[in-house]
Structure 1
């Protein structure tokens, strides 16, 4: 292991630890707030949900773009190794924690704000399940890239990059327009 990769591993571990510590603090505070149920709680949970969704979506848009470039890099080359580090950090430090916070806060909002009622809400949840499945596909693909086992071309990754866009549009329509309300 070279000095640069050792430094990257240490920095990645520190960033990951900070992310999980932050999530733990947020979850503990959310639990305390839920227990005491103050009037301001719903609005702040909604803020946290929107921030988490934005962070998650950024990752869902950016990771396939990294895969486009990674697919064209020679396995084991310096660019490929750099992409592997970027991909792993994006998945572990940003995307997965943001997805988890999005789900927890989203389900809480759906339960407390709407009682899980409304066809629009169920369509939105179906689209979010689709985003989650895509997230899992991307996470597995990042691991395959790290092993030098990518099976998709850069063109296929460009096309896959449209999946979260379509699902996000469905979510936004359901939340704002509520066509089946």
Structure 2
């Protein structure tokens, strides 16, 4: 099995990078949609319905599958011999960042449901501030993997 993982390493890493890019695009865009949704619509109006469709499709068609592929390919990379030095600090920082991204993803899903229920309580400004969370986590993850401290 380890020989197979080693021979597939470039493909697994490529798949992982592509999935991360798609996931990050959604993590950046969905909070921005929430800003516009909170500021430019009222529950039940035509714009509310359009925002709900956009948010649902972004989450279910792009973000959920790309998160799953990111995790799956990432776990295969972790299982590939010689890729992760568990004696270093960086894998733990990356893991913390990925867990943070996953938490944020699920938080966004709960926020989408609040819009559907008409109970969204955050302002556009608050969603703008939350839009910085994936950026901070991305910096932690990329620096951890590239610098490998």
TM-score if structure 1 supplies the norm length? Answer: 0.76
RMSD of the TM alignment (CA)?
A: 1.6
1:110 matched to 2:78: yes
Matched, 1:82 2:50: yes
Shift of 1:38: 6.9
Match of 2:36 among 69, 80, 85: 69
Larger RCO: 1 or 2 (CA < 8 Å, sep 6+): 2
Instruction: Tell me the equivalent position of 2:14.
Output: 47
- Bigger Rg, structure 1 or 2: 1
SS of aligned partner of 1:152: coil
Which aligned segments of 4 or more residues in structure 1 are displaced greater than 6 angstroms? none
Distance 1:43 1:117, change over 3 A: farther
What is the aligned partner in structure 1 of residue 111 from structure 2? 141
**Conserved? CA contact 2:85–2:91, under 8 Å:** no
Indicate conservation of the 8 Å contact 1:110/1:116, yes or no.
no
Note the 1:96-175 alignment, pairs <5 A.
Answer: 96-112=64-80, 113-114=83-84, 116-175=86-145
**In structure 1, how many angstroms separate the alpha carbons of the residues matched to 2:28 and 2:129?**
12
Structure 2: distance between partners of 1:118 and 1:132: 23
Question: Using a 3 Å threshold, how does the CA distance of structure 1 residues 149 and 156 change in structure 2: closer, same or farther?
Answer: same
Q: TM-score under structure 2 normalisation?
A: 0.92
Q: Which runs of 5+ in 1 are unaligned?
A: 1-33
Give the unaligned 5+ runs of structure 2: none
Shift of 1:110: 1.7
Question: Deviations along 1:123-142, whole A, 9 cap, x unmatched?
Answer: 10101000000000001111
CA distance in 2 between counterparts of 1:165 and 1:98 reads 17
CA distance in 1, matches of 2:56, 2:85: 37
**Aligned pair count?**
146
